[in-house]
């Protein structure tokens, strides 16, 4: 009976090691340090603007949702009504480079174009 228990434990261990090895082959394991993440302070949204406007362009005219610099975050002026965006101005500024662009509207959506 002792040998049967030992054999069962050995088989269980070998199966477990095989499953773990198979899991690690298929997946990437990332070790995350909570303390390291908490040390980094997030910038306030007020600081989400370009440091200088040397590379800024005037792209107004054709609606866009991505700036040529690659940024998809824009500063837009909006009007709220009953806790929802009721109106937004079409002039927007890229948060990364400061380029002026035209905000897209639902009418500007073209079927078949993703992003």
d(CA 108, CA 28): 41
Q: Name the pairing type of β-strands 100-102 and 58-63.
A: parallel
- Predicted local distance difference test score (pLDDT) of residue 36: 56
- CA-based diameter of the chain, in Å? 83
101: which residues sit within 8 A by CB, 6+ positions away? 59, 60, 64, 67, 74, 91, 92, 93, 94
Instruction: Give residue-wise pLDDT tens across range 47-87.
Output: 777 888 888 899 998 898 899 988 888 999 999 999 999 99
Instruction: Give residue-wise pLDDT tens across range 85-112.
Output: 999 999 999 988 899 999 988 887 776 6
């Amino acid at each position: 009976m002792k040998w049967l228990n030992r054999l069962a434990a050995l088989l269980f261990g070998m199966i477990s090691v095989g499953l773990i090895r198979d899991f690690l082959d298929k997946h990437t394991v990332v070790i995350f340090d909570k303390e390291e993440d908490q040390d980094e302070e997030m910038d306030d949204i007020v600081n989400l603007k370009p440091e200088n406007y040397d590379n800024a362009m005037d792209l107004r005219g054709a609606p866009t949702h991505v700036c040529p610099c690659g940024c998809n975050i824009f500063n837009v002026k909006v009007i709220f009504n009953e806790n929802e965006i009721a109106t937004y101005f079409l002039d927007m500024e890229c948060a990364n480079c400061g380029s002026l662009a035209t905000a897209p509207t639902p009418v500007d959506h073209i079927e078949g174009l993703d992003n």
